[in-house]
Amino acid sequence: MDDKNRYSVPENEDYEPGSNNEVLRNLLGIKDKETIEQIEGKELERVGNELPGLYGPDHQFTALDIQQIHELWLADIYPFAGQYRTVNMSKGGFQFAASFLIDKLIQELETKFLNQYTPCKFNGDELTYALGIVHVELIIIHPFREGNGRVSRLLANLMAMQAGFPQLNFEPIDKTENTDGFNRYIEAIHAGFDGNYQPIKQVFAKILNAS
């Protein structure tokens, strides 16, 4: 795998013995990256179908909800499911929020964005803005050791359903199906870090159009 697609973490990170530092220590003792990704995918599909029954159309999301979503997804795989990371992380030269700031930043996410944009009853430009800004801010915080992008998509999906959409189709930014779209998505995340949310609005407009 290309190094730019892998996370950089301190050398003492807790990987599964015998996994060549490719698989985090897990409850299943799995050492193979492809196998653990398949299991994560199956659990992601399961929890994606369950969550709409837990968070209704009038639910206002909180920081605790984000932790719960992560735990519901990964509780049978990783011991850290639902827990904020304790290591600093970067990817492709992009530094995510320092671990000691996560509690503070996630509470600010709730106060500034979740309280304002959920329950998500918007449409048009207001909807793409709501989805985009919450998604970018959560990605920048990157509160968990694993699964941040997928948790962010689960939350976006729930918000879109509150606005009357079906489950979102993320194929426009799928890195295996649409490399150009994925690259534009990453560029939009970086733009959001600088306070420019227009690119991520455009990304979510394409996602909504495909859904």
Q: What is the pLDDT of residue 10?
A: 52
Could you tell me if residue 162 is inside a domain? yes
Q: What is the pLDDT of residue 2?
A: 37
Predicted pLDDT of residue 7: 52
Residue 98, helix vs strand vs coil: coil
Residues forming the active site: 142
Q: Is 20 inside a domain boundary?
A: yes
- Single out the residue of 109, 140, 127 nearest to residue 168, CA to CA: 127
One DSSP character per residue, 38-80 reads HHHHHHHHHHHHHHHHHS-TTPPP-HHHHHHHHHHHHTTT-TT
SS3 at position 91: strand
Note down pLDDT in tens along the chain; length 211 residues.
333 444 555 554 689 999 999 999 999 999 999 999 999 999 999 999 999 999 999 999 999 999 999 999 999 999 999 999 999 998 877 889 999 999 999 999 999 999 999 999 999 999 999 999 999 999 999 999 999 999 999 999 999 999 999 999 999 998 887 789 999 999 999 999 999 999 999 999 999 999 8
Please report whether residue 4 resides in a domain.
no
Residue 3 within a domain: no
| Angle between helices 124-141 and 148-162 in degrees, nearest 10 | 160
Q: Establish if 2 belongs to a structural domain.
A: no
In a domain? residue 146: yes
Q: Is residue 138 part of a domain?
A: yes
pLDDT at 3: 39
| Residue 206 lies inside a defined structural domain of this protein | yes
Total domain count for the chain? 1
Task: Give the torsion sign (CA, 184, 113, 86, 95).
Answer: positive
Identify the helix (H) or strand (E) that includes residue 7: strand 7-8
Enclosing domain of residue 104: 9-210
Q: What CATH number corresponds to the domain at position 128?
A: 1.10.3290.10
Write down the pLDDT at residue 107: 98
